[in-house]
Amino acid sequence: MLLALAAMVVVIGGLRAFAEILGPVFLALMLTVAVHPLMARLRRAGAPTWLAVAVTLLATFLIVLGLAAALALSVAQLATLLPTYQDRFAGLVQGLVAWLNGLGVGAEQVRTALDGVDFAALAGLLAGMLLGLAGAFSNLVFILAVLLFMGLDAASFPARMRAVGGSRPDVAVAFASFARGTRSYLLVSTVFGLIVAVLDGVALWWMGVPLAVLWGLLAFITNYIPNIGFIIGLVPPALLALLEGGPQLMLLVIVVYVIINFIIQSVIQPKYVGDAVDMSLTLTFLSLVIWAWIIGPLGALLAIPLTLLTKALLLDIDPHTRWMTSLVTMGAPADPRPEQAPPGPGTDVEAERSPGTPPVTGSPSPG
């Protein structure tokens, strides 16, 4: 046990030391896993392998470049807009001082309390939150390069997994489970993220909050962050609403966000996410904290997929540790042993074999 803990400390230290490299690699891996079914469908439809790979890579590149461009443009717009609110911020501070004086708070106490409150700090907070998310795409060239090579390798990955499944079926099944869980989670989070983004963006536009499209995009991205993503997505538009229309508009933004996001993210979405990944609430929260600490903002965005990968590598892959799955899931874990659950039509192996290739049983692929 002590040796295992020591090894874990060494591994975590290594991950933190190479976070700037591993973060983009993990992002590229998750994107490759997410879009691989597109390649499989194209190959089943009769498209040559090179065309299926090219179309899949093009779609992935467009997604990454689109998000990066939108974030960069949004940060530039915010940087241009913020200086125009400096006078309004000074007026808000004066109003707050007068209100506190009316409550009997002494001028010296007010001055001490507001000593660290200035426009530069508020502007830095707004810009810093956006730059933190934009930093996930800061090494864009490296991300695209890794995506290119992973996409090229993905074409042969199902065959590799079938070969692995012949001698180590538990390994093939564990990776297949990771791939299915990751795709399901990303699909659910993307669909609900789009719904939240549209509703939040329209509501902010209707209330007259500037940069409504930016805040909708922020709501979409932070939807991938479990537990606290809603708060991260709320703070910047609420602060800008304070500068634009005062405390009343800020309060209205908070109320609208709470209503929309509570119904969707706290009532509806968890049911679908739970069905997709079957992770306990405690593990979900701890995964957010740990992965964000290890590799930064990308760790927060990829906390659930990275935890699924860790679970596959440490628990599902070994029959002697598979019993621990029951400690980190919401219900009784299904036994993934291949001899009890042979793959049939519709499984990953069947879905991803090339046209003309006979079905292979006993070794599902995560591809």
Q: Which long-range contacts (CB under 8 A, 24 or more apart) does 337-341 make?
A: 337/169, 337/170, 337/173, 338/165, 338/169, 338/170, 338/172, 338/173, 338/362, 338/363, 338/364, 339/169
- The DSSP H or E segment spanning 351 is helix 348-352
According to the model, what pLDDT value does residue 125 have? 66
Could you write out the three-class secondary structure of 139-192? CHHHHHHHHHHHHHHHCCHHHHHHHHHHHCHHHHHHHHHHHHHHHHHHHHHHHH
- Please give the pLDDT value at position 117: 61
- Predicted local distance difference test score (pLDDT) of residue 340: 43
Give the mean pLDDT per block of 10 residues along the chain (367 residues). 75 83 88 89 88 91 85 78 76 72 66 62 66 65 86 83 80 84 89 93 93 89 85 87 88 93 80 75 85 87 89 77 67 48 43 46 43
The token pair at 350 is: 């069947």
Distance CA 34, CA 38 (A): 9
Predicted confidence at residue 190, as pLDDT, reads: 92
33, with CB counted inside 10 A (0-12, 13-18, 19+), is: buried
The answer to pTM > 0.85 is no
C-alpha span between 260 and 256 (Å, rounded)? 6
- Determine the pLDDT at residue 119: 61
* Residues 270, 202 contacting (CB under 8 angstroms): no
